Amino acid sequence: MSVFGIFFGPIPEIFWSVYSGQPFFECIECCVPLIESNTFVIQKKFVGDEAVFEMAMCERCREKMVTEYSEETRQNISRYIREQFDKLSAEHTEGSEAALTQITELRQIEDPEEGAALLEQCIEYCIVCGAKRADCHRYSLTGLCRDEEIVAQVTPIGRTPLMVCDKCESGMSDLVSQQTRDSWDRFMARHFDGPPGVEIDSPTTYPIAF
């Protein structure tokens, strides 16, 4: 049974920096401490059990980056994920349309065990196809955080954090415009020495879930 609500809990180690072995400290773009941002986003890519790409970005820099992406890309990906998530929800949730109309605000979950279950619901299954993370050789994780907490949120129309399997990410690569690809390539060249390791074993590194 799906759990709907919002939970604020400690950032799990899977969202920590592999490089430092600690929670991310500063924004990759502006180098300002993340604690000074209202919210920030963490993105990691995995091949097997190994994190081959990671970064954290403050709210201001993320918003600036997103504005550089084409409107075509933003609309295409948002529509695709929403359509696939709706299909997945319809298969597992009876009366999902009725549930959606009844939710005016999210219930904040206080119980740690219930919150952990909601967080697991987010990161253990691909938001697009529902594949189990344990069965995926390659996948991406994206988490929204505030202060020293991760925001776990599940509604009938979406959720965060996001887990996206490689198959679904690759399937969405055609939705990314050339303008967006160029913007992402400039970002990568600015912050990473050569292509990230994920390119060795994955067909796309574009920020589908970012």
C-beta of residue 172 within 8 angstroms of C-beta of residue 203: no
Domain membership flag for residue 87: yes
Domain membership flag for residue 74: yes
Task: Give 98-105's long-range contacts (Cβ < 8 A, gap of 24+).
Answer: 99/4, 99/156, 100/155, 100/156, 100/157, 103/4, 103/155, 103/156
C-beta of residue 46 within 8 angstroms of C-beta of residue 39: no
Along the 210 residues of the chain, how does pLDDT read in single tens digits? 456 899 999 999 999 999 999 999 999 999 999 999 999 999 999 998 899 889 999 999 988 888 877 777 777 877 877 777 677 666 655 444 444 444 446 788 999 999 999 999 899 999 888 899 999 999 999 999 999 999 999 887 778 999 999 888 887 777 777 777 787 777 778 877 654 444 444 434 555 545
Structural domain of 84: 5-153+174-200
Other Cβ atoms less than 10 A from the Cβ of 149: the count is: 13
Domain membership flag for residue 158: no
Residue 142: the pLDDT is 94
Amino acid at 101: T
Tokens of 93: 């949730």
Residue 169: the pLDDT is 84
| Beta bridge partners of residue 174, listed in sequence order | none
Domain membership flag for residue 143: yes
Residue 151: the pLDDT is 96
Calpha distance 17→87 (Å, rounded)? 34
Domain membership flag for residue 107: yes
Our count of domains for the chain comes to 1
